[in-house]
Amino acid sequence: MNIEISNIRTVMVCPRKFWLESREKRNYNHEEITREVIRFGGSLKYAELSSEIFGATLWATGIEINANKEEIIIISWRKGKRLYKYHYYEAALYGYVFSKESGKKVRVIFKSNFYEQEIPWENFVESALVILRNLTESDMPTPKINSECKFCGYSNECLDYFVKSDNIEFIKGIGKVNLSKLKSANINTLTDIVKNKEKVQLILGEQKGLKVWAQAKSFLDEKPVIIKKPPKLKEGIFFDIESYVDFHYLFGILYKNKYVPFIAREKNSEKEAFIRLLFFLSENDLPIYHYHSYEPNQFKKLIRKYGLNARFENRFLDIYSIFTNHIAVPVLSYSLKPLARYFGFNWRTSLNGMKAVKKFEDFLLTGEEKLLEEILVYNEDDVRATKLLWDILRNYMFYI
């Protein structure tokens, strides 16, 4: 079991995910050089060091170190605006591993653009070790639906678990209040919901009840179920934005099956890239399809930010809301990736939103074109996946 300290936040969100991740095989290549630096002194940007504990290997990775004869300073670079509780456990475990393996005094500093803070890591070691001991001694924890399931590589296994246990708590948008209403009416399982369609609609309201019924049925039948007939969707433009910390660096369009990116290579070029996008949209007066609310919201903000007089609001159409109101699919999350993957779409890169931000940051630092090219592939796949869902809405009868 390889426990990566930088993953400790996952324990707070989903212990099962942390438990599973700790059992995956990983390669660590910087441990030898790290041991030399802590022994003889020096600096290292990407340090890696491990220590055995509770029958597992605890890994400190992704940190910078500066070492001399007496002490080691560990620096963990962060992106956020403030520190959270898990940062203290993380610092405690970095301190623990380096102190145990070197016998030197260890200081741990967390830095971001917004703060720089030395953490009194010794104060948190005991609590952090209790968390680790519990995890190493436990069997695989049960799934716990949370906001990160949509990005999680284990979602299929968790879905299987929920369906096999005939559990209704994981039905999209069911909520605690509705759950207790159903339970009071003795509707406790997916099977109960499917058998009692009218009763469920009576309890939850016609539309909500219909959606919950269709979702339960799609899990049990293991295939999509129509909630109501989707509207006729016109040909259109597919749109997705990639954003960095304080500007949008890529406006990706799919038009007549051709990918057209509008790129801002630095903050100062955002306006120019956005205006080129506006020209493109003005010349091609078609519906603008996007997935969820981010794109139209950011679009409006940019119009305001640059004092532009452009009216496009009525052209935006959200494939997410059209899809979720018309078709239920046996997935844990209706985020773009799990949903499009269900219908066979494959992303060509391993990027996700967070990784794309990191990749773009690396591009800003190094200017390496191949980093930007990878983001373009990722963004193109996002718009193509949105188009796939649009295709399914238009031809749903072939998929159901």
Which residues of this protein are in contact with ligand SF4, per CB under 6 A?
14, 16-17, 143-146, 148-149, 152, 154-155, 158, 332
56: three-class secondary structure by DSSP: strand
Query: In the numeric block, which tokens belong to residue 67?
Result: 């070492």
Cβ closer to ligand SF4: 153 or 205? Answer: 153
Element (H, E) at 175: helix 175-184
Describe the chain by its helix, strand, coil percentages, rounded to 5: 50, 20, 30
Cβ closer to ligand SF4: 227 or 332? Answer: 332
81, with CB counted inside 10 A (0-12, 13-18, 19+), is exposed
Cβ closer to ligand SF4: 15 or 236? Answer: 15
Query: In the numeric block, which tokens belong to residue 359?
Result: 């990749």
Cβ closer to ligand SF4: 156 or 269? Answer: 156
Nearest by Cα to 233 from 287, 312, 283: 287
Residue 77 and residue 67: Cα distance in Å, rounded? Answer: 17
Residue 324 C-beta: closest distance to ligand SF4, Å: 19
Beta strands at 116-119 and 225-226: parallel, antiparallel or unpaired: unpaired
Cβ closer to ligand SF4: 148 or 318? Answer: 148
Residue 93 and residue 203: Cα distance in Å, rounded? Answer: 49
Cβ closer to ligand SF4: 148 or 391? Answer: 148
Residue 334 C-beta: closest distance to ligand SF4, Å: 14
DSSP conformation class of 284: S
Residue 184 and residue 208: Cα distance in Å, rounded? Answer: 17
Residue 6 C-beta: closest distance to ligand SF4, Å: 17
Residue 94 and residue 77: Cα distance in Å, rounded? Answer: 13
Residue 230 dihedral angles phi and psi, to the nearest 5°: -65, 155
Residue 9 C-beta: closest distance to ligand SF4, Å: 12
Cβ closer to ligand SF4: 100 or 144? Answer: 144
Residue by residue, DSSP assigns 5-29 as GGGHHHHHH-HHHHHHHHTS-----
Cβ closer to ligand SF4: 142 or 180? Answer: 142
Residue 152 C-beta: closest distance to ligand SF4, Å: 3
Residue 155 C-beta: closest distance to ligand SF4, Å: 4
